[in-house]
Amino acid sequence: MAQAHMTDTERGSSGAEHSGSGVRRLFGGRWRGDRGIWRRGIVLAALAALIALTMVVHAQIPNRIGNLGSLIETFLPWLGVGIPVLLVLALLRRSATALIVLLLPTVVWLNLFGGLVTGKASGGGSDLMVATHNVNAQNPDPVGTAKEVAAQGADVLALEELAPSQVSAYTQALASTYPYHSVQGTVGLWSKYPLSGTEPVDIRLGWVRAMRSTVTTPHGKIAVYVAHLPSVRVKLNAGFTASQRDESADALGEAIAHEPLPDVVLLGDLNGTMNDRSLNAVTAQMRSTQGAAGDGFGFSWPAAFPMARIDQIMVKGAEPVSSWTLPRTSSDHLPIAARLKL
């Protein structure tokens, strides 16, 4: 009996045809023959359109009811998480309508935040490294926290939420690295270069949570502001309570606007992101080092699972070279740092 033999080429050709027919049945035949692909997934398509619309008009969402606009802007990048979730659901539902509409939030998100996905450090030389850290008033290891941050090599270091009982611990731990320092209320500034003109900044709280100092570097004088704006809360009965923070942000912005030195650096915990319109008094006149030269989103809070960048390094006059988050300490915030060209 004659026995048929198949060559390797014929077997490969047959396998490719079989595989191709399987792909066509899965993504071609099943979808082409499915008359409901346009009718299914209308709810998914509506959710995709809502995500896109929210990102486009976030600045127009009113703050009159529970500061809803500021709340959404604080976590605005996280709306992108809904895109892959809806994509999977659209594929499971075999909904062509949902898949097409999903292009809208994808394009909008990439337009708003795509530049933050990759690092933007210039790679050029810098004149100054600065760092800031909310150390947490209940920090169980202030000495360890101070040494960990100092070991990162910053020339100028700002600390916020300094408990009065722990100030001496921070001062002693940082003395060998930073010969110049000043503590005003609950914020402090440590520097390798001389400080002058140091004074509190009134941010309308009734106690000191902001300060200003002139740092005389080898490359010239810079004005350094350290600030810890009031905390915000999310309450079911009141929404996003941030009125006190907003008033302090306006006062801080006014002080910076009257600063005579051309190079200005703001270090601190602003309890808000660069997207939050309530910080416009500050953000409208200064640049975020993370946005200009950052490595990723640079989320700094909460330290266990960072979801928002509420700690900021901002500049006016100086040019950001790089910006990044530092390793976790015993605080509930991550420290952040930046290199600047003056």
3 state DSSP class of 106: helix
CA dihedral 283, 287, 293, 294 (to 10 degrees): -20
Q: Which of 152, 170, 120 is nearest to 321 (CA)?
A: 120
* Segment 21-76, tens digit of pLDDT: 443 443 455 566 566 788 889 999 999 999 999 999 998 998 877 778 888 998 99
Q: What is the mean pLDDT of residues 122-150?
A: 94
135: how many CB neighbours lie within 10 A of its CB?
26
Kindly state the DSSP code that residue 165 receives in the 8-state scheme.
G
Q: Residue 172 has what pLDDT? A: 98
pLDDT at 4 over 70: no
Cβ pair 152, 194 in contact under 8 A = no
Whether the per-residue pLDDT at 227 is higher than 80: the answer is yes
Residue 187 reports pLDDT greater than 90:
yes
Question: Which tokens belong to 304?
Answer: 């266990």
Distance of alpha carbon 87 from alpha carbon 289, whole angstroms: 33
Check residue 59 and report its DSSP letter.
Answer: G
pLDDT digits over 87-120, tens only? 999 999 999 999 999 999 999 999 999 888 877 7
Phi and psi for 142 in degrees, rounded to 5? Answer: -65, -35
| Domains defined for the chain, CATH in brackets | 34-114 (no CATH), 128-341 (3.60.10.10)
